[in-house]
Amino acid sequence: MRRLATTEAGFARDFAALLADRDAPADVREDVAAIIADVRERGDAALIELTARLDHLDLDADRLRLTAEEIDAAVASVPADLHEALDLAATRIEAFHRAQMPRDLEVADTAGLRLGMRWTALDSVGLYVPGGKAAYPSSVLMNAIPARVAGVGRLAMCVPSPAGALNPLVLAAARRAGVAEIYRIGGAQAVAALAFGTATVAPVDRIVGPGNAYVAEAKRQVYGRVGIDSIAGPSEVVVLAGAENDPRRVAVDLLAQAEHDEAAQAILITDDAAFADAVADAVASELPTLPRAAIAGASWRDHGAIIIVRDWAEAVGLVDRLAPEHLQIMTPDPEALFARVRHAGAAFLGAFCPEAVGDYVAGPNHVLPTGRTARFASGLSVYDFLKRTTWVAADAAALGRVGPAAVALAEAEGLQAHARSVALRLGQGGGQGGAA
């Protein structure tokens, strides 16, 4: 774990190194390109072979997709209290995303044209759900529910099942979210199948959901053929907290992020050096008690940091440079401090609002920009499953008011057919072809 202080002479250098920590993903481009090419060429046969080699699961084409009976059996095995928890989370997620739905636009301008914008849902979406080091039912809800709210007609879900293991709660979450088309394939090969299609897997229009470096790189390579939500990297949190907080709570909040992955990053920014020491000690005490202590420990050791600042104004500047996926603000007036922050994927305000509540039941989406991309990107929402179509309607009088300017600009650009297209409707000769 790195310890930095803005008062130290080497702070600028050390903070730059901390920023660079997010800029070094594994270089898997060639491996992923080979997998995508294989799936494009051989389809189901490649999926079967890659699943056997990488997930140690022997399948045939008929078993790539889970049957309704398999899903029913898995859902039935989930305890009632977990079904209730899923339902609470799903209800809250759906309510928040329904509130996001945009309205169509129509205006009439002074020239007499009618102008508008219409929102329509995508036809089909592929949902990638991690299933390796951890299976995340919450990711099913966060990816599928906004798509359903937006009106997407077809949802196809891919979830890896190493050695045949599938988390029943993942399938229960899919059932609750209205997803019935589920494939037991993962990795770059699943992304390739969703993008290009095989005999068994029909292609989709957009692929969403987090995954490992291979999944992220595969999404990068298929972008353009299909849409994607983002290139997701390891999870990260920045916690702003002063000495009025319980050091143990802050320590656990940091570890909650660190336990995701060895490459995850958890950072504490505080204005109190003694509190920084107390949190560091609390992390050391809590870490051995966690089932995922090895993962969380590696994350904290290699990527974690504590930064001591002079004041919260200085902290805000550092937050904007970090542009974290998650930001927890545990200060006496968190909303006032948040109002000054420009770059964060999602913010959690107050001592009783840990980031973990956002992962499950708060309502806003937990699929968020990582790797400092919150500078220009946003979290998953209904907008990822909608597209905009603008439209214009004009009669002769309206075109008469604006058309001459269009003719002049088209001629200035040397695009004579453009100019003539308008001029003919204005009763102008428009060169060869005569008047309308």
Catalytic residue among 326, 343, 355, 366: 326
User: 259 catalytic, yes or no?
Assistant: no
If we measure between CA atoms, which residue out of 159, 205, 197, 181 comes closest to residue 42? 197
C-beta separation of 282 from 249 below 8 A: no
User: 326 catalytic, yes or no?
Assistant: yes
Using CA atoms, how far residue 434 sits from 159, 308, 401, 429, in Å, is: 63, 76, 21, 5
Bridge-based pairing of strands 114-121 and 105-108 is antiparallel
In a 3-state reduction of DSSP, which class is residue 415? coil
Give the tokens for residue 249.
């709570």
C-beta separation of 126 from 158 below 8 A: yes
Identify the bridge partners of residue 116 per DSSP, sorted by sequence position: 106, 391
* Residues contacting residue 234 through CB under 8 Å, at least 6 positions apart: 260, 261, 263, 264, 265, 303, 370, 371
Catalytic residue among 325, 343, 355, 366: 325
For the beta sheet containing 386-393, the strands, ordered from the edge strand earlier in sequence to the opposite edge, are 105-108, 114-121, 386-393
Element (H, E) at 278: helix 273-286
Angle 89-155-374 (CA atoms, 0-180°, nearest 5)? Answer: 60
C-beta separation of 118 from 104 below 8 A: yes
Bridge-based pairing of strands 114-121 and 386-393 is antiparallel
* Residues contacting residue 49 through CB under 8 Å, at least 6 positions apart: 42
**Distance (Å, rounded) from C-alpha 323 to C-alpha 162?**
34
Identify the bridge partners of residue 390 per DSSP, sorted by sequence position: 117
Using CA atoms, how far residue 111 sits from 29, 181, 399, 400, 402, in Å, is: 53, 50, 8, 9, 7
C-beta separation of 293 from 258 below 8 A: no
Chain-centre distance of CA 307, in angstroms?
27
**Distance (Å, rounded) from C-alpha 321 to C-alpha 374?**
10
For the beta sheet containing 154-158, the strands, ordered from the edge strand earlier in sequence to the opposite edge, are 181-183, 154-158, 124-128, 206-208, 227-228
Active site residues: 325-326
